[in-house]
């Protein structure tokens, strides 16, 4: 379990399934995901069973002050090449600043716990606010996959982003200084 300033990442449990399914099926979350249909309980349970037994995938619940409010996932964890992919979404779409807090803990886990060299993510091209959000944290655009994903009958680009461990000490220090000054 990873904790900072009242926030924590804890491993997802089977008892979290209905809560995570509710978050995942929220229209505001679905519209920015590859899989955007309403996910059934059966499909969700199958996903959890399949991914829970895969040691290259880690699912976490983000909690603040003991209240679960988000989901963070690492996939394609490659220990030999020291890289992984990650994604997250909030179950609380009304509270400002949750994304930054989730991203900080995700980076802490990636670089302080997993000891990665590179953390990757993918964002649908029309979701420029999230691309810019990741860039504010230090993610770099590595490229794009043109017309890579069909959504609502239209082909969309996928933006490939990465964060490298050499940036982590500066980003970590900057974030810690911001928290001290709040």
The answer, yes or no, to whether residue 149 has pLDDT greater than 50, is: yes
Whether the CB-CB separation of 164 and 118 falls below 8 Å is answered with: yes
Instruction: Tell me the pLDDT tens digit for each residue of 46-76.
Output: 999 999 999 999 999 999 999 999 999 999 9
d(C-alpha 116, C-alpha 90), whole Å: 24
Q: Is residue 79 scored above 60 in pLDDT?
A: yes
Mean predicted confidence (pLDDT) in 14-37: 95
| Predicted TM-score of the model (pTM) | 0.93
> What are the CA-CA distances from residue 24 to residues 31, 56, 174 (Å)?
10, 21, 31
Check whether 85 has a pLDDT greater than 90: yes
Average pLDDT over residues 100-118: 96
- CATH fold, domain 2-180, is Aminopeptidase (3.40.630)
Whether 22 has a pLDDT exceeding 90, the answer reads yes
On the question of pLDDT at 179 being above 80, the answer is: no
pLDDT of residue 182: 46
pLDDT for the residue numbered 157: 98
Q: Where are the domains of the chain?
A: 2-180
| Share of residues in the chain with pLDDT > 70 (%) | 98
CA distance 146 to 21: 30
Token look-up 């794009």 returns 144
């Amino acid at each position: 379990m990873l904790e900072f300033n009242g926030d924590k990442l804890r491993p997802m449990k089977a008892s979290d399934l209905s809560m995570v399914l509710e978050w995942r099926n929220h229209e505001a979350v679905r519209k920015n995901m590859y899989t955007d249909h309403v996910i059934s309980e059966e499909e969700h349970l199958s996903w959890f069973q399949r991914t829970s037994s895969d040691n290259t995938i880690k699912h976490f619940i983000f909690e603040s002050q003991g209240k679960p409010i988000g989901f963070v996932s690492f996939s394609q964890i490659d220990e030999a090449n020291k890289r992984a992919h990650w994604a997250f979404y909030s179950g609380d779409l009304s509270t400002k600043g949750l994304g930054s807090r989730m991203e900080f803990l995700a980076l802490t886990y990636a670089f302080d716990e997993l000891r990665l060299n590179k953390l990757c993510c993918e964002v649908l091209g029309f979701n420029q606010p999230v691309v810019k959000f990741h860039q504010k944290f230090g993610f770099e655009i590595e490229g794009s996959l043109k017309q890579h994903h069909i959504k609502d009958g239209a082909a969309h680009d996928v933006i490939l982003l990465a964060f490298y461990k050499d940036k982590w000490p500066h980003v970590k220090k900057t974030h810690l200084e911001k928290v001290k000054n709040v």
